[in-house]
Amino acid sequence: MSQDQAEVGNLQELLARVGAGLDQFLAFEHPDALARQNVWKAALDRPVPQQGVGIDEVTRELLEQIIPNGSAVTKPGFTSYITTGATTASTLASTAASIASPQRYMHTAFNFIEELSLDWLAQMCGLGNMKGIYSSGGSVANLVGLGGARQYAFEKAGHDPARDGVNRAVSVYASSECHHTIQRAGGVLGIGRRAIKPIACDDQGRMRPDALRVAIEQDLQDDILPMAIVANLGSTNRGAIDPLRAIGELAREHGIWLHVDGAYGLPGILDERLRDLYDGLELVDSIIVDPHKWLGASVGVAATFVHDRELLQRAFTQGPSDYLEGSIDDIDATTAPLEHSLDDFSIRYFDYGVELSAPPRGIVVWALIREIGVEGMRERIVRHNDMARELAAFCKQHPRLELLLEPTLSVCCFRYVAPQIDDLDRLNQKIRRRLVRENEYLPSTTRINGQLALRPCFLGARTDHSQVDGLAQAVIRIGDALVVEQA
Ligand SMILES: Cc1ncc(COP(=O)(O)O)c(C=O)c1O
């Protein structure tokens, strides 16, 4: 079948078929993909097809071999890491954009929504008038924020690091609990991973401002340029929130850029009970949030906010190119009003970050917020935070569960305990493995003050209170069985 025939449009029927397959997937009645890998690998592992099979066959393979063998990330019981599946609104929006406005430039309704949704996000998350740019995830969003920090710190010293490279040693002070993408950003930005200086945390996993001050003052003595401070609003391991105001005031005192990683935890500000923990946001220079974490977006949607996007332009501009600027910038908008969506790129997001081609991601955020509103988001976030607290309360009153850390956000760190077992780390590791094999409750693990913890992070839009009791009972049942087996 030729490519042209494959292109003939019957989207309505095909999307209906795929939609039915996805609805069925969401019933989670299928076994885990790994269990059936012999079957689907045999069906899918083919040499590159010289002749196409046509869209009906592609749809059939999607429905029969691929969708049912997808990922556990979307399951209500999936509480590993900090990731989740897309909600329906997100799926509809990104599907629509892939056809009707594939790129985030030019004057289309989708691209209008790009900016609108960034402003909505900023308002919803207490960021005032900060201006945003979307990117593919927290890794890139952190990179973009720290790219702004690099530009700011070197420009103050009369040097353009984007044009000329860095010309001196710098430090970035980040909590020892910071996400490891911060170190990678150091490598990519040419300052080196070793420039990321880990700052000690308290026993709740929050960066200690006193330790931060000592590190900065030492560097100033050693003639190392303090480039940025990175604070967590919701660390990955524990959901810890760093003392933002104290850190921000220290940043102001020394004129250091304050970057905040709120990839997971920034939307926690919607929970009124936690609002005080976010005090100091006005001191922030750059901050990220990942709608594809707590807000239910399809993976591939993060946002970086700054006060001055022109700084990002200096940090990330691609420079001129004949095939782009040569043809477009000649238009004199004052004498030649725009008459076609192609007349102008509109907001030049491609100069504020590291991607040229990129989908309009704001349409996803727009759909999510439009569907349930800020109040709906707040309800979901409160529900997840409540779930972590319910589990914590249950652990405190159950003799064979131990709470290892009071939850701040929606992460709860706990473990199974039995007096006759010496190596509780190993036992809890085994519990986690069995949980994963049973394929219903899927937490990850972490270390809390040296001890191995089961670490559910309640995040998915499809997860609800029943998961709390289900997980706790499964841990007790498996733990009890393992203790008997080891006796
Ligand atoms: C706090 C934090 N920052 C950054 C990231 C990286 O985000 P992404 O996986 O979207 O690149 C994560 C991922 O879990 C995270 O939890």
441 shares a domain with 425: yes
- Residue ending a domain, among 334, 368, 402, is 368
Place of tokens 């009707």: 100
76 is a domain residue: no
Whether the CB of 181 sits within 6 Å of ligand 1: yes
Name the residue of 236, 266, 411 whose CB sits within 8 Å of the most ligand 1 atoms, as the mutation to test its pocket: 236
Asked if the model's pLDDT at residue 104 lies above 70, the reply is yes
Beta-bridge partners for 174: 198, 230
179 shares a domain with 59: no
105 shares a domain with 60: no
Name the residue of 79, 81, 176, 179 whose CB sits within 8 Å of the most ligand 1 atoms, as the mutation to test its pocket: 179
168 is a domain residue: yes
Asked if the model's pLDDT at residue 333 lies above 60, the reply is no
- Please, are residues 398 and 414 in contact by the beta-carbon 8 Å criterion? no
The gap between the terminal CA atoms of the chain, to the nearest Å, is 64
Tens digit of pLDDT for each residue in 9-21?
A: 699 999 999 999 9
Residue 140 alpha carbon, nearest atom of ligand 1:
11
CA of 338 to the centre of ligand 1 (A): 40
Over residues 379-406, the mean pLDDT reads 98
- Please, are residues 126 and 269 in contact by the beta-carbon 8 Å criterion? yes
- Please, are residues 278 and 251 in contact by the beta-carbon 8 Å criterion? no
81 is a domain residue: no
Over residues 307-332, the mean pLDDT reads 76
Name the residue of 144, 232, 293 whose CB sits within 8 Å of the most ligand 1 atoms, as the mutation to test its pocket: 293
Over residues 102-127, the mean pLDDT reads 96
Number of domains forming the structure of the chain:
3
- Residue ending a domain, among 337, 368, 399, is 368
239 shares a domain with 214: yes
- Please, are residues 242 and 280 in contact by the beta-carbon 8 Å criterion? no
Whether the CB of 138 sits within 6 Å of ligand 1: yes
Whether the CB of 136 sits within 6 Å of ligand 1: no
398 shares a domain with 321: no
Res 323: pLDDT:
72
Say how many CA atoms lie within 13 Å of 454 toward its Cβ: 36
Name the residue of 146, 181, 188 whose CB sits within 8 Å of the most ligand 1 atoms, as the mutation to test its pocket: 181
Asked if the model's pLDDT at residue 334 lies above 60, the reply is no
Over residues 417-442, the mean pLDDT reads 97
Three-state DSSP at 213 gives helix
Over residues 270-298, the mean pLDDT reads 98
The tokens for 12 are 């309505």
Q: Read off the pLDDT band of 7 (50, 70, 90).
A: low
Over residues 82-108, the mean pLDDT reads 95
Residue 290 alpha carbon, nearest atom of ligand 1:
10
- Residue ending a domain, among 320, 350, 368, is 368
Q: Read off the pLDDT band of 2 (50, 70, 90).
A: low
Tens digit of pLDDT for each residue in 254-265?
A: 999 999 999 999
- Please give the Cα distance from 155 to 163 (Å, whole number): 11
Res 338: pLDDT:
85
Mean residue pLDDT across the chain: 95
Res 72: pLDDT:
95
The tokens for 183 are 């170190």
Asked if the model's pLDDT at residue 61 lies above 90, the reply is yes
474 shares a domain with 338: no
Nearest-CA residue for atom 14 of ligand 1: 82
225 shares a domain with 319: yes
Asked if the model's pLDDT at residue 147 lies above 60, the reply is yes
Asked if the model's pLDDT at residue 137 lies above 90, the reply is yes
**Residue ranges making up the domain that contains 427:** 376-486
223 shares a domain with 152: yes
- Please give the Cα distance from 46 to 267 (Å, whole number): 44
143 shares a domain with 238: yes
* Percent of the chain surpassing pLDDT 70: 95
Asked if the model's pLDDT at residue 215 lies above 90, the reply is yes
Whether the CB of 264 sits within 6 Å of ligand 1: yes
271 shares a domain with 134: yes
Residue 82 alpha carbon, nearest atom of ligand 1:
14
Q: What is the CATH number of the domain that holds 167?
A: 3.40.640.10
Residue 235 alpha carbon, nearest atom of ligand 1:
1
The single-letter DSSP state of residue 66 is: I
Q: What is the bridge-based pairing of β-strands 442-448 and 451-455?
A: antiparallel
Cα four-point dihedral sign 314, 318, 324, 327: positive
295 shares a domain with 176: yes
The single-letter DSSP state of residue 107 is: S
75 is a domain residue: no
Over residues 330-335, the mean pLDDT reads 54
6-10, 370-374, 455-459: range with lowest mean pLDDT: 6-10
What Cα–Cα distance (Å) separates residue 243 from each residue in 240, 277, 289, 405? 10, 7, 18, 17
Over residues 241-263, the mean pLDDT reads 98
Whether the CB of 302 sits within 6 Å of ligand 1: yes
Q: What is the CATH number of the domain that holds 447?
A: 3.90.1150.10
255 shares a domain with 289: yes
- Please, are residues 431 and 418 in contact by the beta-carbon 8 Å criterion? no
Asked if the model's pLDDT at residue 237 lies above 70, the reply is yes
Whether the CB of 236 sits within 6 Å of ligand 1: yes
Res 339: pLDDT:
87
Asked if the model's pLDDT at residue 153 lies above 60, the reply is yes
84 is a domain residue: no
Whether the CB of 82 sits within 6 Å of ligand 1: yes
32 is a domain residue: yes
